[in-house]
Amino acid sequence: MTAQQPQPAVVAPRPRKVPRIVILGGGYVGFYTALRLRRRLGRREAAIVVVDPRSYMTYQPFLPEAAAGSLEPRHVVVSHRQVLRGVDVLNGRVTGVRHADRTVRIAPEYGDEYEITYDHLVVALGSVSRTLPIPGLAEQGIGFKHVEEAIALRNHVLARLDAAASTWDHDVRRRLLTFTFVGGGFAGVEALAEVEDLARSAVRGGRYEGVRPEDLRFVLIEGSTRILPELGEEMGGYALEQLRRRGIEVHLATFLSSCVDGHVVTSTGVEFDSATIVWTAGVQANPVLAETDLPLDDGGRVRALPTLQVATADGEVVEGVWAAGDCAAVPDLTNPGHLCSPSAQHAVRQARHLGDNLARYLRGADVRPYRHAHVGTVASLGLGKGVAQVYGVKVRGWIAWFLHRTYHLAQMPTLDRKVRIVLDWTLALFFPREMVALGRLHDPRATFVEAAASTAARAPGRGPTPDGRGGAGGAGGTGSVEGARAA
């Protein structure tokens, strides 16, 4: 921090009767750690605080279904305040940590930055999209990590179909109907497959004038020589074949070179225009970790021991700090020399383990190492289609898709969310998907601002309009300053 910057207000450390555990991030790890700690420790044993700018935990594996309209987006998130009983929730962005004096700096959405102190810190800040300085990407790209992005993608795709059905210009239509996804990992393939399903079923039956299913062009760009590497060569190959059979263009060993104004250029020289570019090319540790005095590895993740305690490069425990999930470099004891992969599978288990270890530590018991052998992977390739490899057993097609749904349903926190999800799926059996593009949702004030601007233009002196009804109020309204005063 430079000397010129205003100092954040410090919430003075009070002598505490019970230790305060501050959890940074309320995603998978933060949410499950808080639940576990609250279950293990009474209120007189520990105070628990979760800090996150979002007031909910997102079940990310359901984001592709939320983007496809198979699930209501609100049903794939879980409210912190509703579920984390006995936990203090602070909505704000962590902007730094000084472990030397056990202080966290927080920027709330409204008001000045402030600091809070802790006795134990749990770092659960997850990852962010790994982007590259590709010309046009920052302006054109849509990420796919948050529920807001899933909602925006669905509205964006449906709005492109509306626009394509409303133009006679072939080039414009072609551009509107070309959807590009970059990154052939889980998030990219599942999002692409679900959105392609949505778009094709939307245009079937001539709902969009002049737009036929074969006019849609879906393109996947992947830098390596295969997709879904987590599934192994055989099942990844099966998924690739399925996508190609559906007419999806998959460019392997190819990189996005540029996408200025939606003009896509690849490293292999392929060029086309695309009004939709979804970036799902991997994740990197949360960059805010660089604003802490915690030990980081070369990938910018917090160094952790298998006990999930943060440690220096020499393996010396940094007392009072714990870390897990995508933001932590945790050795994989089942695969010596490797780190646990950034996955929900590890995040949930590490969170519970961390909660147990921290509770044991506070009670003076020994902490235990985390060990989990990867169970397998399930992926959806759209409605009724999937691919999976669980305990070495390879499954494909409808059964894999069913496995995917039942596994994630079982993992989804709270009975309330599970029931809502089952109801969404059940309703989808009897009614077609919702096809309304609520694109204007993303700029809700636009029409009001337009109306206010036209009123101001018509009545610069705020006097009555030529029809004598007054500036802003309209018939019978009291929206004008004069009207309000008169009232």
Q: By C-alpha distance, which of 367, 304, 371, 308 is closest to 336?
A: 371
Q: Which residue is nearest to ligand FAD (CB)?
A: 27
Q: Min. distance of Cβ 405 from ligand FAD in angstroms?
A: 12
Contact 455, 472 (CB under 8 A): yes
Q: Min. distance of Cβ 304 from ligand FAD in angstroms?
A: 12
Q: Min. distance of Cβ 183 from ligand FAD in angstroms?
A: 11
Q: Min. distance of Cβ 230 from ligand FAD in angstroms?
A: 8
Of 116 and 288, nearer to ligand FAD (C-beta) is: 288
Of 230 and 273, nearer to ligand FAD (C-beta) is: 230
- DSSP character for 113? -
Distance CA 40, CA 46 (A): 10
Q: Min. distance of Cβ 374 from ligand FAD in angstroms?
A: 9
Applying CB under 6 A, the residues found at the interface with ligand FAD are: 24-30, 51-54, 60-61, 63, 93-94, 124-126, 144-145, 186-187, 286, 288, 325-327, 342-345, 347
The four Cα atoms 21, 24, 25, 28 give a dihedral, to 10 degrees, of -50
Count of residues in the chain: 487
Of 57 and 159, nearer to ligand FAD (C-beta) is: 57
Q: Min. distance of Cβ 121 from ligand FAD in angstroms?
A: 12
Of 50 and 472, nearer to ligand FAD (C-beta) is: 50
3-state class (DSSP) for residue 456: helix
Of 173 and 405, nearer to ligand FAD (C-beta) is: 405
Of 167 and 341, nearer to ligand FAD (C-beta) is: 341
**Which class for 109: exposed (0-12), middle (13-18), buried (19 or more C-beta within 10 A)?**
exposed
Q: What are phi and psi of 284, to 5 degrees?
A: -135, 160
Distance CA 224, CA 163 (A): 34
Report the greatest alpha carbon distance in the chain.
Answer: 82
Of 22 and 164, nearer to ligand FAD (C-beta) is: 22
Contact 146, 156 (CB under 8 A): no
Full DSSP string of 240-284: HHHHHHTT-EEE-S--EEE-GGGEEEETTS-EEE-SEEEE-S-EE
Of 144 and 218, nearer to ligand FAD (C-beta) is: 144
Q: Min. distance of Cβ 379 from ligand FAD in angstroms?
A: 7
CA distances from 134 to 144, 187, 326, 369 (A): 18, 20, 24, 41
Q: Min. distance of Cβ 240 from ligand FAD in angstroms?
A: 18
Q: Min. distance of Cβ 473 from ligand FAD in angstroms?
A: 42
- DSSP character for 301? P
Contact 179, 161 (CB under 8 A): no
Of 274 and 286, nearer to ligand FAD (C-beta) is: 286
Distance CA 311, CA 327 (A): 14
